[in-house]
A and B are shown apart, each in its own frame.
Chain A
């Protein structure tokens, strides 16, 4: 009986921490295969490159725990990015970067209000708004790239403070704040309750619509923040930027082990999900492996990780 208990515990441990175990295995494998992998420089570069996606995935965690989906964050990224570039060019470079999260916040609010007032599933609503936002991004930029050749515009995406990229600091700070919000505040509790059992939450006096609107607003704001970093880094607003980022963000959240049905999950899991995807990518680069296998490998690893966490379904 003791052995069955321990093996059951072990299985649960693997299910709960599948993503971390896979990251550890990848790190060990890549360290053995390449000398250039386990260097501060390489690791910081991975974090830096993936900071925008990680920020979006962190916020997406709240949406998914709350029982929703946001397929529009890629488009919000585009609108916020071209707006930031436009404002930087025509008004002030600092204001351009500062305004992007607020534009994202506003668009996220639109999502939330559309979903709760029309009472349609967020999946459908954000497919629609994503197209609307994409159109807005094209209108703002006139369908063209907006190059911003101003020195004061690039600090957010390129500079370091004390040897650490500002983008990495912003991402880690954002992840910590969201972790705190989710686990230690009344709002976070309500997000879990809305995704776990909306009816019970309503009967408990939770204003579920407000909570949902707030999660979408946060996801929008995160997309705007991510866009600011990204636009600053490449000094250019692109109306076509962000395409597919919503799916990468959702994949990272699910890969991390947050329940797709809502009600359970954690921000660190999504960060781990982003890192796992990034490590696979990085492995291909430093090993000079045939990039034709990249998507195939990534897909298989996602299947394995999700399969391990789902295997605990039956008690």
Chain B
């Protein structure tokens, strides 16, 4: 389609990468990447954990300086490239961890850094300008709402509008759906299609292959820092993508088999009775037996995480009782819970999970220092190294070092370290909050195997995930969570994702109760 107003269309790609490579601390994570991103396309970047898809996205967005190769933007080769230069040339980036100022309003965040000024004084034109952008993008947000109080989906809209406010024509999105519900993800995809129709280019980094196949025009597959191929999405299937990502003929493997240790007659390992917390937990009671995986399913904001935090003692509980192996304890703090054999893998690995300034080894043994030190407090470093080495090998962490620097690891490998940290000693109760969030096929599978192993060894597991499929695939039993309460118990083996979704979306509407889909 030739169009005089778009002289570049179909000729010069808006972003052209030639021979791009990147090394972190001497480790080469990307090399020899040649990709063209064309105007008005949604271009997916897929690849296994550590394949370099996020790194490549960040190089385009200017967040990483490439170690080699050159970048052309709208036909011009760029010299030094950083986020502000990228924005000037019309390339914006939306991070997996959103980069908004929580205390500012929607409008203030959208125009952050490009506020209109008169004689150095802010001109109060933001809301009017924002209205134009919202009209163009189809978003509806209160311009004066404080960002911290908004859902992640809404915050993403702010990021997108921020890019639009700067007249960006290329938007790099790094795993934007990893913390969204299926419904919210679909709405984001709608937005992406609308941006595309308006002539924008979207570079979509994701590990959700269904999303990529559903929304992208073109897809580029990376493996071990190398380009496998770039092709039309219509020529690909989930199977072809997965085998390109994995390199072999491996197709997507199913969930690990659930162990047979079902509800025993013995006492449960974890018993929660009438737990209530002002953070949003409403009279929760549940039991988990040895070797059992129990799932919590709910929409974002349903109180899943709050239930986990209240059980663990990370948030203060206002009432209720918790027993581990029949022993109740009252003053619950994370330190107390850990000593009683209960651990929690938090949902946000960078903010809550890992100490980014410490190497892998120190992170993994942090909760177990008592075990790894003499009475004098000196660390038994030989024992520590041996155990951490075994765990790094078990999880197949890449790079395979015990003293690697966490910031150089990909998200999936960071997640493996985070999980490994808790499996170093066999805990009685493990709470997993989004254990495979932001992680690709290979790492995900490894993590699922580890969870199944854990249960097989007799640990009681509480599993929280926004991926319903994951809970159904791994858990022996699951509860639906709504407004901080457990509203229904389901048998994962006899329920489909669709049933669950249907049920979740109808919680707020009592009139549909009679028409509820059959849930066992």
Contacts and interface: CB of A to CB of B under 8 A. Distances in A.
Interface string B380-397: 010000000000000000
A186 B370 contact: yes
A205 B338 contact: yes
B128 interface: no
Given A9-B26, A203-B314, A205-B338, A196 B357 contact: yes
Interface in B340-359: 343-344, 346, 351-358
Contact of B421 (A5, A184, A204): A204
A201 interface: yes
A88 B373 CA distance: 41
A206 B366 contact: yes
A185 B379 contact: yes
B26 A207 contact: no
B355 A263 contact: yes
Contact of A5 (B26, B82, B356): B26
Interface residues of chain B: helix, strand, loop or mixed (majority): mixed
B372 A200 contact: no
Given A205-B335, A315-B65, A189 B378 contact: no
Interface in A135-159: none
A197 B346 contact: no
A204 B366 contact: yes
Interface string B356-382: 111000100111011011001111010
Interface residues of chain A: helix, strand, loop or mixed (majority): helix
B379 A205 contact: no
A250 B377 CA distance: 27
A204 B338 contact: yes
A203 B379 CA distance: 21
A247 to B, nearest CB: 25
A263 B358 CA distance: 8
A86 interface: no
Contacts of A263: 355-358
Contact of A193 (B23, B25, B355): B355
Contacts of B82: 314
Contacts of A238: none
Contacts of A207: 335
Contacts of A205: 334-335, 337-339, 343, 367
Interface string A155-199: 000000000000000000000000001001111011011011101
A25 to B, nearest CB: 27
B418 to A, nearest CB: 9
A8 B370 CA distance: 39
Interface string B292-327: 000000000000000000001010000000000000
A202 interface: yes
Contact of B65 (A190, A193, A199, A314): A314
B356 to A, nearest CB: 7
B427 to A, nearest CB: 11
B517 interface: no
A186 B377 contact: yes
Contact of A190 (B67, B343, B351, B369): B369
Given A5-B26, A184-B379, A186-B379, A202 B334 contact: yes
A1 interface: yes
B331 to A, nearest CB: 12
A201 B363 CA distance: 9
Given A189-B369, A193-B366, A200 B355 contact: yes
B335 A189 contact: no
Contacts of B378: 184-186
B354 A1 contact: no
Nearest to A6: B26
A263 B366 CA distance: 14
Contacts of B355: 192-193, 196-197, 200-201, 263
Interface in A2-23: 4-5, 8-9, 12
A5 B355 CA distance: 27
B273 interface: no
A195 B353 CA distance: 14
B217 interface: no
A4 B67 CA distance: 8
CB-based closest 8 A-B pairs: A205-B338, A263-B357, A186-B369, A196-B357, A196-B355, A186-B373, A185-B377, A204-B367
10 contacts: A185-B373, A185-B377, A186-B369, A190-B366, A197-B354, A197-B355, A204-B334, A204-B338, A207-B335, A263-B358
Given A1-B21, A200-B366, 20 more contacts: A4-B67, A4-B68, A8-B23, A9-B26, A12-B25, A181-B377, A185-B376, A185-B379, A186-B373, A186-B378, A200-B351, A200-B352, A203-B346, A204-B338, A204-B366, A204-B421, A206-B335, A263-B355, A264-B357, A315-B64
